[in-house]
A and B are shown apart, each in its own frame.
Chain A
Amino acid sequence: MDIRLLRASDIPLIQHANLENLPENYFLKYYLYHALSWPQLSFVAVDASRPLKTPYDYPKIVGYVLAKMEEEPTDGIQHGHITSLSVMRTHRRLGIAEKLMRQSQLAMVETFGARYVSLHVRVSNKAAIHLYRDTLGFKTEKTESKYYADGEDAFCMKLDLDFIREQLREQEDQPEEEVEEEEEQGNKDKKKKKNATGGEDVDEGEAVGDVGRDPAKAGTGKGEQKFKVKVGRALGVGELVEKVESKHS
């Protein structure tokens, strides 16, 4: 397993993983839109140990997080959003989903100054809810009824990212040498706390399925409307988003 930043060449197999695992699917262009707007936020877990069969083998994607920044936040606060997160059923219980999420959250704060991150999750998806709430600390904001195309409700969840901001500030305030030790200490503390709350052995259990799927929102007519993007107006990228969004309405 190798957890690293997404590259353009990964996208066909990210799309493949999404199609294989989740009911909410997107055109390749929608992935490109993420990768070219917020390339710092999306990460993949690849099976790096597979022996190569040809010189053209692409690393197999066993998990990914596709994330974005809200372009025009209705609350006026910079925040990130998880569009889609998935780990192959065959690669669960290694904490991949959690690790992907943490990488993305950190980058949201560092690169884009995000204050919080939001996501949607099916109310029936216990494993995913467990990951978000118990392992990562998300809080349920509200329930959106019939969010999903098949009529299922979604929990709208949020995680305040100020704790990451705080950590970064602490690191910055300290001279380099000390940081290393402090951090080590900090990690241990964190681990201890985790053990105490039983967070250490969290496993993803079943499907950590789809959490994103903004798309359905476009149809509900309330909340964030995603496609007015100044960015894409003249060109059809706006149109692209619009298309994908309405697809699920």
Chain B
Amino acid sequence: MPQTLSTREANLFRTVIRYYEDKQYKRGLKSAEQILKRNPKHADTMSMKALILNAQGKTDEAFALAKEALTIDMKSYICWHVYGILYRTNKNFDEAIKAYKFALKLEPDSHQIQRDLAVLQVQMRDYQGYIQSRFVMLKARPQVRQNWTALAIAYHLDGNLQQAENILTTYEKSVTTTPPRTDFENSEALLYKNSVIAEMGDHQRALEHLETDCKNCLDRLAVMELRASYLAQLGRKEDAAKAYRALLDRNSEHPDHYKGLIGALDIPADDEDSVKAVFDEYAAKSPRSDAAKRLPLDFLSGDRFRTAAKAYLTLMFDKGVPSTFANLKHLYSDEFKKETLPAMAKEYLDEHSGAAGADAKANGDSSKGEGAALYFLAQHYSYHMSRDLAKATEFVDKAIELDPKNVDFHMTRARIFKHQGDTAKAAEAMDHARSLDTRDRYINSKAAKYQLRNNENEKALATMSLFTRAETVGGPLHDLTDMQCIWYLTEDGEAWQRRGNTGLALKRYHSVHSIFDIWQEDQFDFHSFSLRKGQIRAYIDLVRWEDRAREHPFYFRAALDAVNLYLSMHDKPQYGANGVEGGHANGEDAAERKKAAKKAKKEAQKAEREAAEKAAKQDPNKGASSAQKSKDGDDAKKKDDDPNGSKLAATADPLGDAMKFLSNLLQYSPGNIEGQIAGFEVFIRRNKYLLALRCLKAALSIDKEHPKVLDQAVRLRKALDGTMGSLAPKAKEVIESELSAVPGA
């Protein structure tokens, strides 16, 4: 039977809760112990103690105690609530939901439990559950607008647009006084409703609603953009044109506005002059607009293109705009434009070298004029579609001669070395560029990146440390990991992999994976935050993006690297053990690698030792204000028991470990052929022929000519011929029929 407390102890119990809420964990524990001394089986106190232990980072102890408390008193909602919180803080949201539901059953009127449960449900995308929770919450407090909005959101996310709109309308009707124009929450709620109507595809009604209810909404840009797009979709061209003009007056650098205007003006696509005239109008109206001058190059052809290109390049070179090439290289898919642009640049060069060039020099800025044209041509010959590295070198050298301290020129010189395959020279040249402007982090980052491409992990980290925060415990790498610097982690991992250090390579790829976990969890707080802020459209945008965040190329690259590394670990088991690749096939190369790997391991050990020392020197009682210790027990949670990835590298089941990455690649980026190819490789090694076949088919649907895929088809056929006997007849039948449709198999 559950124990009951005396009045004095009941009061003490309340102080335990208060101490916990105020994060005074030591005092809280002390008070809890006091109660438990007299009532050792008081389940609620045990639970509260568990909660405090958890906050201090003693997760295992906390779970054990909370479980014990539950076995003593299964009917205590506090015990279930605590159990739910434990799971929630340890990110096991599914289990947390279960515990919360028990708690709620025992205490159906608890607003807090209901609210926590609702957040967990939307986090886990249990929209049915979320609708139910929000419905209960609305019934409890219908006077609060947020509760109506929240229920609408629940329906909206679940795909029930009509019901979402109804809920919003019901609330609006219940309000008797018109909210003031400056009521931000109201303004956003109206625009949110408008977005729901538009999502139903009823543009007519959306437009009417926008023009009446949203007339005074405070987000003017949204009102203008929505209106223009509704008008366009309704074919009201004259009004649409006007609306797009108003948008262009506001921002002449947004290509969509031009597109909208041109569409509304009914100009035939092949009437280049008329389309160009629209852009010219805005180029005249907003002389500083780049888009108005550059966008016509996309559609103009022949002499019209030549004239416009000449004018644009002249302007850009005169101003010395460094991004000129980057902004035009997409035109190279057109053979004529690819020929014309460099020809125009050379023309400019002929006209401006010598006397005019001297003018620029007199102005003290030789990155303009001649220098800019040389720079353009150097990039042109360095670009893969128009590559001639000897010419590129020639032009970049000329540019450097003109302006020896120009960072951009030296950066391009480094890139040319990279394209020549000389990573050492490239790294050196980029570091030289860095030395010309040591206050600029951009060039610093580039220098580090090139060092990594040259397998100089240690040097790169030293370069990065010039801009990382000095006081971060664990040094620059920790800072970069904390700050979620994905590009560095990925490049560092790839360099370690090339050096044969499997452990550190895996470690970095796993770090990237964890960052995406953090990003997914980051949305948690916003489920309630956004309701209070009232920015519902932005919130919906976030939730939808979070659902596909792992499609991001940042994730894809690191995950694909990891899968491929696990594959080679499987194929060559000597990779594993100490995390450093062992004997490699051909003599010299292998010896070289071994040496490098040994050195790398030594250095990594040294770094680890140093980090440990540094951490030890930190006074654990000091610096509560420092970011490293934002709350009790943070340190305990942060401790990394495998800093060099030795445990990761020592895995006995690399293919199993690869699945963590592969499943995300296949789920979030099924249209990327590289993921499907890697999937096939993993599945065929695991004898999962149906899954291998699925990857193969997906790859073929993306590119049926891909040589690797064709090779895989042959391999699958061979593998099946060898093992068909052992397969279930049904599976055999399916695979046979599917495979027969695959060419070459």
Contacts and interface: CB of A to CB of B under 8 A. Distances in A.
A89 B290 contact: no
A94 B253 CA distance: 11
A54 B545 contact: no
A37 B551 contact: no
Contact of A36 (B255, B256, B329, B539): B539
Contacts of A57: 553
Given A51-B333, A239-B630, A180 B245 contact: yes
Contact of A27 (B221, B442, B484, B525): B484
B537 interface: yes
B195 interface: no
B327 A1 contact: yes
Nearest to B556: A56
Contact of A8 (B251, B291, B445, B541): B541
B513 to A, nearest CB: 14
Interface in A1-48: 1-5, 7-9, 12, 15-16, 19-23, 25-29, 32, 35-40, 45, 47-48
A32 B526 contact: yes
B672 A55 contact: yes
Contacts of B445: 19-21
Interface string A221-249: 00000000001101111011011001111
A7 B408 contact: no
Contact of B254 (A3, A25, A246, A247): A3
B630 A19 contact: no
Interface string B215-239: 0001111100000000000000000
A249 B219 contact: no
Contacts of A23: 441, 467
Nearest to A195: B287
A89 B442 CA distance: 7
B133 to A, nearest CB: 17
Nearest to A2: B255
A39 B545 CA distance: 15
B245 A206 contact: no
A58 B254 contact: no
Contacts of B546: 8
A184 interface: yes
B407 interface: yes
Nearest to A45: B253
Which of under 10, 10 to 19, 20 to 34, or 35 or more describes the interface residues of B? 35 or more
Nearest to B472: A247
A37 B442 CA distance: 29
Contacts of A99: 251, 253
B323 interface: yes
Interface stretch (A107-115, A139-147, A154-162): A107-115
Nearest to A28: B519
Contacts of A7: 541, 545
A89 B525 contact: no
Given A25-B483, A55-B672, A92-B322, A111 B539 contact: no
Contact of A236 (B322, B441, B525, B541): B525
A183 interface: yes
A136 interface: no
B538 A36 contact: yes
Contact of A56 (B218, B219, B322, B672): B672
Given A40-B221, A89-B407, A149 B469 contact: yes
B277 interface: no
Interface in B239-294: 245, 249-251, 253-256, 285-288, 290-291, 294
Interface in A46-74: 47-51, 54-58, 62
A246 B626 CA distance: 7
Nearest to B521: A29
Contacts of A201: 319
A152 B519 CA distance: 32
12 contacts: A1-B253, A3-B253, A19-B445, A19-B483, A28-B522, A29-B525, A39-B541, A40-B222, A49-B328, A56-B671, A99-B251, A240-B525
Given A1-B290, A45-B253, A112-B218, 6 more contacts: A8-B541, A8-B544, A12-B554, A22-B441, A89-B407, A110-B218
Interface of A: 1-5, 7-9, 12, 15-16, 19-23, 25-29, 32, 35-40, 45, 47-51, 54-58, 62, 88-95, 99, 103, 106-107, 110-113, 124, 149, 180, 183-184, 187, 191, 200-201, 203, 206-207, 219, 231-232, 234-237, 239-240, 242-243, 246-249
Q: Please list the 4 inter-chain residue pairs (A to B) with the smallest Cβ-Cβ separation, ordered nearest first.
A: A39-B538, A3-B253, A49-B330, A247-B627
